[in-house]
């Protein structure tokens, strides 16, 4: 319902056409005991999971029946047409895919290929947040049909809008290469072959076991259980999915950690009304953990958990030769909510900003179209910023020609701050080559809130210790260029911002 925690609206993967995507034997093993294939799996196991006697036999038989039915669910023929390149699955494509895997950021969420198991969530340092389990890739060959894996990498949300797997904006060629590598490097299918199931029994089980409470499929749902509101006041330790021992009964078996179970029992002892509270800043914090954003980005003084080592690379120089360019790591998220314009941040998170802000980074920023608006609002709220943006004095109104002229002078090397030596300004490229990435100032104007821009300009190292950006004013806000606007740093920086407005207007979009 509206006004409730956004996570309550998440959906499980659609079962429509699943037989065209996943291997039947893998489905049977997954349905029977998900934790055996993925640490921290959220999918519950079927009924009793003691592994003894008739319970184990029934679970295996039901899983085989369910998998047999799901295997009959195929995508329409037009969705199964091969669109891969001629090199799909070739050693050359696999080699290129290995390079992609190591550079675009896959290791932030996935354990390296060759690992036998997924990485459990551990927290050896109490001062750092607990990371969710990473997802192993060793059994990809057992799970995915080859072209279906390629299609999943291209459009992860197609069959699962709430997936944690983000969209990296891969091209067809990149998806072919990455899928080729993943399939070639993963382990051969070693899962025990289960006795084939009965698809007719499986169809009935899908309708009666509760599968359709989470998964989408054009089939009547015949499963009934108590509504959450009916559980208020009950002792969850004695009944239902969180119970232990005989209290579980026929409830699904979730692999809750001890800490998760304690948290659920504590929640069950309340009136459950907290589910109807939506706090944007808290949602953003949960999403940063869920999406493992801090694997690549630092935040609040902490370094990224799995920040990839980015070695210098050779780039062309202006004389036709090459030079080494040191590539910095992704930016910290400490000030994101107060730093970036809300609408721009929404567009950026959704993957609708076409030009890359930091094209020198090999790590690729993924897209989160399903949560972009809420996540942007939550990051802003975390810094006390409103969900709406009003024009500021630096943005509103016409551009004064004299102020524009002074801003242009300040950008340049003749009596100015020489900003244009390192920074490009739209179509006007930087005058010198530097050994590190520098953001185009037109991009900065589109992205940055005016107040943050001024705070940054007055003292860059206060915002980002260790930055190469120098300070141009003293503690009183006075600049050494006393002949321009009386040496008032704030007014000079405002003039620069206004002059970039003019260039931005000429360049077109102000998104």
Whether pLDDT at 102 is above 90: no
User: What is the rounded CA–CA span in Å between residue 140 and residue 147?
Assistant: 12
pLDDT, one tens digit per residue, over 275-284 is: 998 899 999 9
Residue 240: both structure tokens together:
């239902």
Whole-angstrom distance, CA of residue 240 vs CA of residue 256 = 13
419-441 pLDDT, tens digit per residue, is 999 999 988 888 877 667 789 99
The per-residue pLDDT for range 208-256, each reduced to its tens digit, is 999 999 999 999 999 888 888 888 888 898 888 898 877 777 788 888 8
Task: Give the fold, CATH level 3, of 401-507.
Answer: Cytochrome Bc1 Complex; Chain D, domain 2 (1.10.760)
Provide the b/e sequence for 363-375 (b: ≥16 CB within 10 Å): bbbbbbebbbbbb
Tell me: the pLDDT tens digits for 292-346? 898 889 888 887 765 444 445 565 665 677 655 555 688 999 999 999 999 999 9
Provide the 3-class DSSP secondary structure of residue 448: strand
Q: How far apart are the first and last CA of the chain?
A: 32
Among all chains, which residue has been given the structure tokens 């009304």? 273
Half-sphere exposure of 4 (CA within 13 A, CB side): 9
Counting every residue, how long is the chain?
Answer: 511
**pLDDT above 50 (res 511):** no
Give every CB contact of residue 153 below 8 A, 6+ residues apart in sequence: 168, 170, 175, 178, 179
For the chain, which residues make up each domain, given as ranges? Answer: 1-226, 280-381, 401-507
What pLDDT score does 388 carry?
73
CATH class of 1-226: mainly alpha
3-state DSSP helix/strand/coil % of the chain, to nearest 5: 40, 5, 55
Are 1-226 and 401-507 the same fold in CATH? Answer: yes
Mean pLDDT for the stretch of residues 370-379: 95
């Amino acid at each position: 319902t509206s006004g409730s925690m956004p996570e309550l609206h998440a959906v499980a993967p659609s079962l429509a056409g699943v037989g065209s995507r996943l291997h039947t034997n893998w489905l049977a093993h997954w349905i029977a005991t998900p934790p055996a294939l993925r640490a921290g799996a959220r999918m519950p196991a079927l009924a009793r999971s003691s592994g003894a006697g008739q319970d184990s036999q029934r679970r295996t038989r039901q899983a085989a029946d369910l998998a047999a039915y799901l295997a009959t669910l195929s995508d329409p023929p037009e969705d199964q047409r091969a669109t891969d390149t001629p090199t799909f699955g070739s050693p050359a494509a696999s080699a290129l895919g290995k390079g992609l895997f190591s550079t675009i950021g896959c290791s932030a969420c996935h354990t390296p290929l060759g690992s036998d198991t997924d990485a459990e969530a551990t927290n050896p340092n109490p001062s750092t947040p607990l990371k969710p389990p990473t997802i192993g890739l060793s059994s990809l060959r057992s799970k995915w049909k080859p072209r279906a894996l390629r299609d999943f990498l291209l459009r992860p949300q197609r069959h699962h809008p709430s997936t944690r797997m983000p969209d990296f904006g891969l091209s067809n060629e990149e998806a072919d290469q990455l899928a080729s590598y993943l399939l070639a490097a993963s382990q051969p299918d070693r899962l025990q072959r289960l006795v084939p199931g009965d698809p007719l029994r499986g169809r009935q089980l899908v309708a009666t076991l509760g599968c359709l409470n989470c998964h989408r499929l054009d089939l009547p749902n015949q499963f009934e259980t108590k509504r959450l509101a009916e559980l208020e006041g009950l002792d969850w330790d004695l009944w239902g999915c969180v119970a232990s021992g005989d209290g579980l009964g026929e409830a699904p078996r979730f692999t809750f950690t001890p800490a998760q179970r304690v948290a659920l029992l504590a929640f069950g002892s309340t009136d459950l009304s907290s589910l109807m509270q939506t706090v944007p800043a808290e949602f953003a914090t949960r999403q940063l953990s869920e999406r493992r954003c801090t694997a690549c980005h630092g935040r609040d003084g902490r370094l990224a958990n799995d920040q990839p080592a980015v070695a210098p690379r050779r780039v062309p120089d202006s004389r036709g030769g090459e030079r080494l360019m040191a590539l910095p790591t992704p930016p910290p998220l400490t000030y994101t909510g107060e730093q970036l314009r809300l609408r721009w941040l929404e567009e950026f998170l959704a993957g609708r900003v076409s030009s890359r802000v930091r094209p020198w980074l090999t790590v690729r920023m993924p897209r989160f179209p399903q949560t972009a608006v809420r996540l942007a609002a939550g990051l802003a709220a975390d810094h006390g910023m409103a969900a709406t943006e009003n024009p500021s004095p630096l943005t509103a109104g016409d551009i004064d020609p004299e102020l524009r002229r002074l801003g242009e002078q300040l950008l340049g090397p003749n009596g100015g701050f020489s900003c244009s030596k390192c920074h490009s300004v739209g179509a006007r490229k930087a005058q010198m080559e530097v050994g590190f990435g520098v953001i185009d100032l037109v991009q900065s104007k589109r992205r940055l809130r005016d107040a943050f821009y001024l705070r940054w300009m007055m003292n860059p190292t206060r915002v980002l210790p260790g930055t190469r950006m120098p300070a141009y004013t003293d503690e009183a806000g006075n600049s050494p260029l006393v002949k321009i606007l009386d040496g008032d740093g704030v007014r000079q920086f405002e003039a620069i911002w206004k002059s970039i407005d003019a260039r931005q207007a000429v360049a077109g979009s102000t998104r």
